[in-house]
Chains A and B, each alone.
Chain A
Amino acid sequence: MIAEQIVNGVVLGSMYALVALGFTLVFGVLDKLNFALSELFMLGGFVVIASVGLGAPLWLAGILVLVVCGLLGLVVEFVSFRKFTSADAQVTAALSSLAVGLIMIDLVQKTWGGEPVSVPVPIEWRRANVAFFGMQIQVMKIVILAVTLVLMGVLHWLISRTAMGRNIRAVAESPTFATLLGIDVKRVNQQTFFIASALAGAGGLMFSLRNGIASSDIGFTFGLKALAIMAIGGMGDLRGAVLGGILVGVIESLAIQFGFGKLGEIIVWALMILVLLARPGGLFGAAHTTEQRA
């Protein structure tokens, strides 16, 4: 039972990790919080519903999620981040993206109503199990894990192997320096937002496939946890986001297993607060002390 809960936790955590990767990418590059990502996570499920409703097969719907959420990410960048470039505008940009998130929730509720909507996944998909070391594991969970791993692999390749990734890393290191090198920072910001938003959307896609529903409130009930996970893993630390996501997913699953129920929801936030206070560099990063700005 515990092993199964750990597997469940890893599945849950991999979805958290996708959104946390989005948060941490944006923070790493721009030093800003993009609150709209948790609502793009929420939108992921609804894009599936809409595309399948229009007759798209599920694999195409999945790709559409990435594209649509990515494009919406560009809108968020334009509306809430383009003008607020200075370090002083950190809070302003966060508030603005929060407002964009509120609009997304409202538009979804206007279109699909406030109640959860079921995602058209063939029931046998969700029923199918395979035996694995004596455990019965839903095929769906394996698919989710596989897709997540592929996406993470692609992200790793993009960041570490491509010219775009090199530029993104340069801007994350120092926007001023990157400009001097002739890197188009605006373009890098857009690329970052597209990737981050597509990842958040993918997280939402996985979530809706696992649960069979999409709901307008999962952005702040689940998506915002990814924000905490980003902080736990170290803000701007990609590896930390993945490890943090899986850690939190497993802890939450075990908390349910041991009868803590919803109280488990506190763990992620409490852990985040502790990490921010005691190890601002993240749970897995080197414990670097930063001299306060003079």
Chain B
Amino acid sequence: MSDTPLLDVRAISKRFGGITAIDDLSISLFKGDILGLVGPNGAGKTAFVNCVTGFYTLSGGAIHFDGRDISALPLHQRGRLGLARTFQNIRLFRRMTVAENVACALRDHADRPLRSLFRFGGDAGFVRAARDLLERVRLADKADQLAGSLPYGEARRLEIARALATRPKLLLLDEPTAGMNEEETQELLADLRRNADLIPSMIVIEHDIKFIRDVSTRVVAMDYGRKIAEGSAAEVFAHPQVVEAYLGAGDADV
């Protein structure tokens, strides 16, 4: 089935009142792809993630995922189909413990929550699964702390572990290295590589161009809600429109 894309975004648009956040955008992604999404601030990258995961309703176009039209599906059904994400401004369940943050996202009884009331074997399975995921992101020793007490870098890793707990088919990371120094960024890269077995496909929004070069198999550049370039990292970052968009936005990283 490698000829049908896992994610097929067909000419979507998103408008808020008179403002167009996304304009006639088409992106497709195959199983195994790691797509880097770049562009200046306000280019519509986060809006794109919000449209795919269901945080925004589309103003036009359609999104197909895993062979299904998900354009009208509510958030939780998209989550169950295998879409999981992290947030630019970290959104953990701050008053729950680190382990609980992961455990609440674990799939259970074919998603019939009331069934969990009739489990008499205790929580051993959840404890083990949560612990395993926390070990994968080097947070096992913090399992019983409150999520709200974690420092920035650890909070980002916990958010990734929580997303992985849903066993996603496609993971969407929104600026995972924002606010991190070079060393932390490298560690995060190592974390993602180490857990590649749990990440079949991924979309990463990043400003750190080195990170994008290292991680992605393909890159899409956006500006003003449109796709302005697509291809390998080298191709995209050499594209005149991309260079212009970045310089125009006063970003000297290129």
Whether A and B touch directly in their complex, counting CB atoms under 8 A apart, is answered as yes
**A291 contacts the other chain (Cβ, under 8 Å)?**
yes
Instruction: Give the Cβ gap from B156 to chain A, nearest Cβ, in Å.
Output: 18
Question: Is A54 part of the contact surface with B, judged by Cβ < 8 Å?
Answer: no
0/1 per residue, B54-95, Cβ < 8 Å to A?
A: 011100000000000000000000000000000000000000
Q: For the complex, is A2 an interface residue (Cβ under 8 Å from B)? A: no
Chain B 9-47 per-residue mask, 1 if CB under 8 angstroms from chain A, else 0: 000000010000000000000000000000000000000
Quick check: is B185 within 8 A (CB to CB) of the other chain?
Answer: no
* Distance in angstroms between the alpha carbons of A294 and B49 in the assembled complex: 11
Give A294 to B75 CA distance when docked, in angstroms. Answer: 11
Interface size on A, residues (CB 8 A): 3
Give every chain A residue within 8 A of B56 (Cβ-Cβ): 291, 294
Chain B min CB distance to A173 (Å): 15
Q: Which residues of B contact A292 (CB under 8 A)?
A: 55
Judge whether B50 is part of the interface by a CB distance below 8 angstroms. Answer: yes
B83 CB → nearest A CB, Å? 15
Contact with B along A253-294 (1 / 0, CB 8 A): 000000000000000000000000000000000000001101
- Cα of A291 to Cα of B54 in the assembled complex, Å: 12
Residue of A nearest to B46 (CB): A294
CA distance A292 to B16 in the complex (A): 11
The smallest beta-carbon distance between B84 and chain A, in angstroms, is: 16
In the assembled complex, the CB of A87 is this many whole angstroms from the nearest CB of chain B, namely 15
Residues of A within 8 A of B57 (CB): 291
In the complex, chain A residues 66-106 whose Cβ is within 8 Å of any chain B Cβ: none
Report the minimum CB–CB distance from A196 to chain B (whole Å): 30
**Residues of chain A lying within 8 A (CB to CB) of residue B55:** 292, 294
Interface residues, chain B, with chain A CB atoms under 8 Å away: 16, 50, 55-57
Sampled A-B contacts (7; CB under 8 Å): A291-B16, A291-B56, A291-B57, A292-B55, A294-B50, A294-B55, A294-B56
Q: Give A residues with C-beta under 8 Å from B.
A: 291-292, 294
